[in-house]
Structure 1
């Protein structure tokens, strides 16, 4: 099983440039030995860093919003991951229960959740994944109005799970994309 805490999307055939862009910024934030590797899918990179992924996202957001919109050229999306488990339903349920135990979710009975699933190189059924994750959540699931998104990223035999707010995923917006 691969261990990662960041999923990085880039353009096909720009994986090398995105890796360098990520590596440089992780070093600048203090991670002396980030581990960056290919996922086996074109345009998808995985990383394990000692830096909190949300700090990296905040770093990128501050630079692109306040200083240089084109600072990030090859990274299209950064998704933080809280826990990685084997890609089977029992492990998904166990991992989600551990994540909920670690994360102070459900303290408020009005908290709503969304479950987002992305699958790559997997025969698991999306509906099965959603059902198993929903069974672990203490409150309602809603696609439109939610406080937390349970992001499930199935990549072959490893699955990353994260509990995210809407602002926890980074997508840079260059001037070219705004037109």
Structure 2
């Protein structure tokens, strides 16, 4: 099962979240082809036809413009690539994506969220960071290498921190003209 979105919601609201995600896809003009329950409370994955980073940006515009406020979709993390949950595969894909999306002078940090696996978080980070020559910056980096680890598949992205949609961090309907 591949996915390009990791979506957080409340416990036992996964079904409603999946329905709302499909509705949001219609609103922003990007079809949600599938959603799946991850087996972890309050967490589903989805697959959007098109660029998942563009999806989160459109969702953010929708909310800040005051056009729609999600009730069940609380956070959406875009995923650029999925691989088998093995450190060497995770590291290889992360380094390849960093080579494509991280320019020579940009700083970065590796963010790992793992669920239901006994892989060590620092082992994952070290396996990636040891192969990237860019400067690490833990606070306010230019890019984040986002690693979403699940038992069988892991999603990886190289994104800006604000490419993650978080309802808690978005001010609803307060976008001002000229921004």
Range class of TM-score, shorter chain: 0.7 to 0.9
Q: Give CA-to-partner distance per residue, 1:42-63, whole Å, 9 cap, x none.
A: 1110011113222222222122
| 1:151 aligned onto 2:149 | no
- Give the Cα–Cα distance (whole angstroms) in 2 for the partners of residues 104 and 78 of structure 1: 20
How much has 1:31 moved relative to structure 2? 4.3
2:89 is matched with which residue: 88, 91, 106?
91
Q: Which runs of 5+ in 1 are unaligned?
A: none
TM-score, scaled to structure 1: 0.86
- Give the Cα–Cα distance (whole angstroms) in 2 for the partners of residues 159 and 56 of structure 1: 20
Higher mean C-alpha displacement, 49-58 vs 3-12:
49-58
- Asked whether the 8 Å contact 2:98–2:145 carries over to 1, the reply is no
Name the SS of the counterpart of 2:15 in structure 1.
Answer: helix
| 1:167 aligned onto 2:167 | no
Give the direction of change, closer, same or farther, for the CA distance of 1:166–1:31 in structure 2 (3 Å limit): closer
How much has 1:16 moved relative to structure 2? 1.0
- Give the Cα–Cα distance (whole angstroms) in 2 for the partners of residues 62 and 92 of structure 1: 31
TM-score, scaled to structure 2: 0.86
- Give the Cα–Cα distance (whole angstroms) in 2 for the partners of residues 128 and 104 of structure 1: 23
Q: Which runs of 5+ in 2 are unaligned?
A: 172-179
Aligned length: 170
- Give the Cα–Cα distance (whole angstroms) in 2 for the partners of residues 8 and 93 of structure 1: 23
Aligned-pair RMSD on alpha carbons?
Answer: 1.9
- Asked whether the 8 Å contact 2:112–2:125 carries over to 1, the reply is yes
Residue 104 of structure 2 corresponds to 107
- Give the Cα–Cα distance (whole angstroms) in 2 for the partners of residues 50 and 16 of structure 1: 20
